[in-house]
Amino acid sequence: MVKILYKPLGLLFGVLGGVIAGAVFRRLWALLGHQDSAPQPTDEDRTWTEVLTAAALQGAVFALVKAVVDRSGAVGTRRLTGTWPD
């Protein structure tokens, strides 16, 4: 029963985590001294270094936020129900 209830909440938290990760990435990109948005891979005016740095940073931020959200959801479920969701 816990698994059935956990799935929709996990999806909701996943979406929220994506929004948070996007905001964190944009903030970090700005803090690194870039005034504009992160480059697209097909942006002709950006260097390879800038495009790959942005992609690596964005991937790391999204993975970190996803791990925090997933782990927090599992811990919260265990605290509420006494069962670890699988």
Report mean pLDDT in 10-residue bins for the chain, 86 residues: 80 92 94 84 93 95 95 90 86
- Identify the pLDDT of residue 34: 77
CA-CA distance, 1 to 81, in Å (whole number)?
10
SS3 (DSSP) at 32: coil
- Identify the pLDDT of residue 10: 84
- Identify the pLDDT of residue 65: 96
Cα-based distances in Å from 52 to 6, 15, 56, 75: 36, 25, 6, 34
